[in-house]
Every structure is written in structure tokens, then in C-alpha cells.
Structure 1
Amino acid sequence: MEEKYETLKIQQESPNSGVFNLIINRPSVSNALGLNFFSEFPKVLNPLDQNPTVAVIVLSGSGNHFCGGIDLKSLAAMADDNSGDQGRTSERLRRKIKFLQDAITAIERCRKPVIAAIHGACLGLGINIVTACDIRYCTKDAIFSVKEVDLAITADLGTLQRLPGIVGFGKAMELSLTGRRFSGDEAKELGLVFGFSVRGRN
């Protein structure tokens, strides 16, 4: 548990507590996440799952926001391929996307309950992450958006697979195709979150 990570940190609630806080830790960029997050996240989550002292994992964001989405530099890096071979380029992109999807699915594979504590912005990749959690709470001033449509990409890291089962197919499609922002109050009405918290973790 002492290992240092670039995008995450772990805090035990108290010395004898079974509650462990897993905190997205890039506050200087609103917790926008680059490719290194997808490597680190399963490496952090899996040991917590295996640790018998861990009873529950609370996933939150440091700073003012839960997650500002994917780091646009990472998207550019994924798309940067000058091989000229369309077939091989498509296959490499497919493998990269599967790698990203697998990192988020690590939440579902975790046998310990994972609770999302959301505050501030929860955009794009943030929605992918929280829809994989077992329980979700947010602050009243939280803002959500399935942002990918604004970037002309697909929310295929889990949102389109999981969100319909949470809020219903029609509402999930409306949110995904418009990319509109919605509030913590609406998130509760939709059933995306179960209630309100005073503040996400720092």
C-alpha cells in the first residue's frame, strides 16, 4: 500500500477501519486521465480486492472535481499512426480500446463493494468509471455529462453498456447523443446516484 502512483492515491479511513479511499489524484487538470491511469488503476484495485482488511472501497477525486474526462493528449496519441496500413491501424486501435475497457471493468471484477463519491464535474470518462461502481453518491452541485459526442467519439469504455441498465435505454440514449450537462438532482431522479453526500473526498 506504500507504493506511489501518478494518478491515484490510497488512504485508509483510520488505522483499524475496513474503509479504504481510492482517490483519483490529478487535481491540477480537473482529474482528466491519461493512458497511465489505465495501467495503474487495475494494479491499485486488484490488491485492495485481495486484501482481507479491506471491507469497502470509496472511489473519489481530489481537488474540485471527480473526473474531467480523458486527457485529450492521450486521445491524440492513440490516433497517431502513420503506418499507412488501414487494417493494421484499425486492429491496433481495437486492442488499445480493449485495454482501456478492461481497466474500467476491473471495478466490476472487484469483489469488494466500490462506492463512487462524486463532486464537481463528472464528465465523459468519469461517467464510464462511476457506472461500473456498485453504489454512487454525489454532492448536490455535481455536474454530469456523457461528453464523448462533443469530441466525435463513442462512449465505449462502459457508459453505453452500463448506463442503460441504470437509467433506462431511452434516457441513456438521450444523454449520450446530446452530451448535455445534468445536475446532481437530475442524476438522483434518473437513479444514476442514490443520494447526496456533503462533499467528495480529497
Structure 2
Amino acid sequence: MELTTLDYRVDGAIARVTMKRPDELNTMNKAFWNELIDVFAAIDADMRVRAVIIASTGRHFTAGLDLGMAAASLGGGAPADPGRARESFRRHVKQMQETFNVVDRCRVPVIAVVQGGCIGGGVDFVTACDMRICTENAFFTVQEVNIAIVADVGTLQRIPHLLPQGLIRELAYTGRRFPAAEAKQYGFVNAVTADHEAALAAAEAMAQQIAAKSPLVIAGIKQVLNEGRSQTIEQGLEYVAVWNAGMLQGDDVPNAVKAQMAKQEAVFADLRA
């Protein structure tokens, strides 16, 4: 897989995806939107992978959507058929949404490590992740309002599950910076560290802890939590009951109980492709 905007590697049970355009502030150009989909397809196909760490390089996590790409997608002039032009634009937005949908749907937990600015599309990206760890100098900005766009690739749909409504609306309406300390106060980030190296180390420790659990159970927890966002409590309870009735048939529960009783670490097999 040839990548120009991302570095992808797997170390043991941990997949690492790193944005690698620091001189361009890791802006999300046309290649990025396709490459992230390809990388997460590889992750989902690799049964060794039990957790993913998303990271970046340079001073900032990302400055968001490449403005040249944004301008090109909006186009200009008077199209011969405005209806067809708008239908084409809708498909363009849906394709961009899919780039972060694949992160949200990934069968394993995804941890984002944020340093410096996480702006515009960066917020769409990290809200599609399961957990977020950031540095003291990190900040998040729903930038779209500042360039007269309604955020349309995931922030406004996912952030209501992460933050209170009043705060969400303030951030979306004003486009102000949401600094690390405030983000931690509201539980948007799981931890704040002194620097990027410490944030990466914290993500590594979390990923290794997750990777030691039953991958079948971790996949089930993520699936049930994600489905629960659009379900009533009663529907969610029925969903998890059916999930466990179907999935808890193998060796993992006996292995886990035996290890607990022996005060040992259980060892779980990878999922099957």
C-alpha cells in the first residue's frame, strides 16, 4: 500500500497510523481522504490488530481540510444544470464522511493522540475515535463556522455523545478554541500530558492494556456501545442480550475465569479472518 499522507505500521497487536505532512500542518488533502479508508480496511483485515493509535507529526495534529481542496469542491460560476451540480456535491460530501465512518466502525478501539491544534476536520477525525489523549498545549476548534461552512463530516453528529449541548453549541457557533484543560474538565479527552512523547506513551499503555483482553469481547463492547447511540435503553438491552447469546460460546470466558482464579494473565486467541 503506497501512502503519501500517512505512515502505517503494525507492532504486535497495535496498529499505528501517523499523519506525516508536518510542513503543511497535516492538512487533509485529496489523497488523505482516500488513504485513511485504505489503511482502516487493512486494519480490519488484520486479525492481529487489537487496538489502533492515531498520531501526527510536527507542531499541530492537523489544521483540518486543505483549503485548496475545499475551494475546488465548491466550484464556481453558473453550472448548466444546478440540480445535477448539487447532487454531485452531495455525493462528494458523503464520500468524505465515509473516511471517518470507517474509523468509527473499526472493530477495535481507536486512540487519538493530539498535540497542538486539532482544527476543523481534525475534530471530525478525533470524535470518530474511541478515546483521546492530548498534550497541555493542545486545542480543538470547530473551524467550519469561521469559513462559513456547516461542519458536515461527523463533528455535529458525534460530539453530542461526548459533550453537553450548551457547550457544543457555543463551540460550533463561535469557532473558539477549546483548550486541553477545558476538554479534560468535560471528559472530551481521557488524559492531558506534558508533551507529545508522554501522550504517545500514555496511548501505548492504554492500547497494550486493551490488547490483553479478549478481542471478541472488545469487538462486542464497541459494537454494543456504537449501536446504543441510536437505540432506546430497552433496544440496547435486547441487542446486548442477543450479542452475548451468539458470541459467548467459545473458550474466552473459561480461560478468563481460570486465569482470574489462578491470579494469572489470560491469553486470548486472535479473531478469525
Q: TM-score range by the shorter chain?
A: over 0.9
- State the one-letter code of the partner of 1:22: V
Question: Conserved in 2, the CA contact under 8 Å of 1:164 and 1:171?
Answer: no
Identity of aligned residues (%): 37
2:33 to 38, 49, 54: 38
Residue 168 (structure 1) aligns with = 164
- State the one-letter code of the partner of 2:111: I
Residue 90 (structure 1) aligns with = 86
SS for the counterpart of 1:66 is: coil
Give the Cα separation in 2 of the matches to 1:20 and 1:98.
26
Residue 56 (structure 2) aligns with = 61
Following superposition, the deviation at residue 168 of structure 1 comes to 1.8
Matches within 5 A, 1:1-202: 3-13=1-11, 17-80=12-75, 82=77, 83-197=79-193, 198-199=195-196
> Which protein has the larger Cα radius of gyration, Structure 1 or Structure 2?
2
Higher relative contact order (CA 8 A, sep 6+): 1
- State the one-letter code of the partner of 2:57: S
Q: How many residues align?
A: 196
Following superposition, the deviation at residue 191 of structure 1 comes to 1.5
- Structure 2 length normalisation: TM-score? 0.69
Question: Conserved in 2, the CA contact under 8 Å of 1:81 and 1:89?
Answer: no
Considering fraction of residues, name the structure with more helix: 2
Following superposition, the deviation at residue 12 of structure 1 comes to 3.2
SS for the counterpart of 1:76 is: helix
Deviations 1:144-197 (A, max 9, x none): 110000000011100000111100222111101100012110111122101123
Q: Which runs of 5+ in 1 are unaligned?
A: none
Deviations 1:113-155 (A, max 9, x none): 1000111110000000000101111011102110000000011
Give the Cα separation in 2 of the matches to 1:49 and 1:168.
32
Give the Cα separation in 2 of the matches to 1:148 and 1:95.
19
Following superposition, the deviation at residue 111 of structure 1 comes to 0.3
Following superposition, the deviation at residue 79 of structure 1 comes to 1.0
SS for the counterpart of 2:3 is: coil
Question: Conserved in 2, the CA contact under 8 Å of 1:67 and 1:122?
Answer: yes
Following superposition, the deviation at residue 109 of structure 1 comes to 1.2
Which deviates the most, 37-46 or 79-88?
Answer: 79-88
Following superposition, the deviation at residue 84 of structure 1 comes to 3.0
Give the Cα separation in 1 of the matches to 2:45 and 2:101.
16
Give the Cα separation in 2 of the matches to 1:130 and 1:37.
15
CA RMSD of aligned residues (A): 1.3
- Structure 1 length normalisation: TM-score? 0.92
Following superposition, the deviation at residue 4 of structure 1 comes to 2.6
